[in-house]
Structure 1
Amino acid sequence: MKLQLKINGKRHAVEAERDMPLLWVLRDYLGFSGTKFGCGAGLCGACTVHVDGKAVRACITPVGTVARADITTIEGLSADNSHPIQRAWIVEQVPQCGYCQSGMIMAASALLKEKPAPGPEDVRAAMTNLCRCGTYPRVERAILRAARASGAGAADERAQS
């Protein structure tokens, strides 16, 4: 079946079954290899992308359900790693093995879009992605740094003082 997808701001026509996971269309049909396969059950989050601005697990999302949506992969977050989350990830030296990082970054950027000034508890509750290297403290620091850099975190800290 011919599907039209809008990925990272560009239209793509793909021939795929409507029930095929979005992950495989992104990786195998369109070459967006930044989105990773982890568990295949929507549990680990390595495959996290944005669909209409919300974080979703691409391994369990049928491509036919997102044909009219705006899909963003890690490749579309920013062309030059200038997104506040990406900059904070670098400063905090978050990655260890790096496999889960694109999914973590996509989940974190969706969190900040939804809640620009999260506290540590908000970050811990929202970040359900798994990291086999255990970089969770660095992930939390990076997300809070990105919130402060955008101004929202700083305003929130002033309000709590």
Structure 2
Amino acid sequence: MTADHVTRRGLMQGGGALLAAAPLASPAQAATTASVSKGAPMTPVELTVNGREVHLQLDPRTSLLDALREHLKLTGTKKGCDHGQCGACTVIVEGRRINSCLTLAVMHDGEEVTTIEGLGTPEALHPMQKAFIVHDGYQCGYCTPGQICSAVSVLEEIKAGIPSHVTEDLDKVTFSAEEVRERMSGNICRCAAYSNIVAAIGDVAGEAEA
């Protein structure tokens, strides 16, 4: 068989010879492969979620979002982009809003987590949930849990005097529609209900000041 005349039979025979000549994996390599196939060892994680203490055994690579949705069945928190760009997965951890898809559950061992389910119930809605209903601050509703969790935190940030990129007087942070739009810019609404969302947040801010 010459170099310019390769048959299918010859190619298969040559490939078989190469496989036969390949060295076998060492015991150490085999053990590593077996360990990877079995997955990482489980890690105990303790969280206080919506006021309830929970104990989980998790793969250390599990995101907080997946821990909430898949392990605790709190599916109100939505998985949107899974890259921290849409805000649908926003929850409140130790009083601060975060994208739960961008952080590992093991990083929050011992901490308090509040999801949309922990803000209110159908029988006892949170003021922000009521305002979103009154002002029609949602359409498809997919982003709404993250929007509401973020909105609740936004008012707390303003109350605490934490400035944003549009704050003019760093010594006196005050509520304004511009502040709300800037602070809520990480929460995307594909239905574009932004003006209604700002109105809902404004209503809750007015009630808090009254």
Q: What's the TM-score, normalizing by structure 1?
A: 0.90
Q: Which residue of 2 aligns with 1:135?
A: 193
Structure with bigger gyration radius = 2
Please state how far the C-alpha of 1:19 moved relative to its aligned partner: 2.8
1:65 aligns with 2:73: no
2:140 to 97, 109, 113: 97
Please state how far the C-alpha of 1:81 moved relative to its aligned partner: 4.6
Q: Which residue of 1 aligns with 2:120?
A: 78
Please state how far the C-alpha of 1:2 moved relative to its aligned partner: 1.5
Cα distance in 1 between the residues matched to 2:101 and 2:47: 16
1:36 aligns with 2:78: yes
Compare 32-41 and 8-17 and name the one that shifted more.
8-17
The answer for unaligned runs of 5 or more in structure 1 is 155-161
2:58 to 11, 16, 19: 16
Compare 82-91 and 29-38 and name the one that shifted more.
82-91
The answer for unaligned runs of 5 or more in structure 2 is 1-42, 160-173
Aligned length: 152
Cα distance in 1 between the residues matched to 2:118 and 2:56: 19
1:121 aligns with 2:178: yes
Structure 1 consecutive aligned stretches of length 4 or more whose deviation exceeds 4 Å: none
Would you say the 8 A contact 1:81–1:87 is kept in 2? Answer: no
Cα distance in 2 between the residues matched to 1:81 and 1:120: 27
Cα distance in 2 between the residues matched to 1:134 and 1:124: 13
Give RMSD over aligned pairs.
1.2
Would you say the 8 A contact 1:4–1:13 is kept in 2? Answer: yes
Would you say the 8 A contact 2:132–2:197 is kept in 1? Answer: yes
Structure having greater relative contact order (Cα 8 Å, sep ≥ 6): 1
Q: Which residue of 2 aligns with 1:157?
A: none
Q: Percent identity?
A: 39
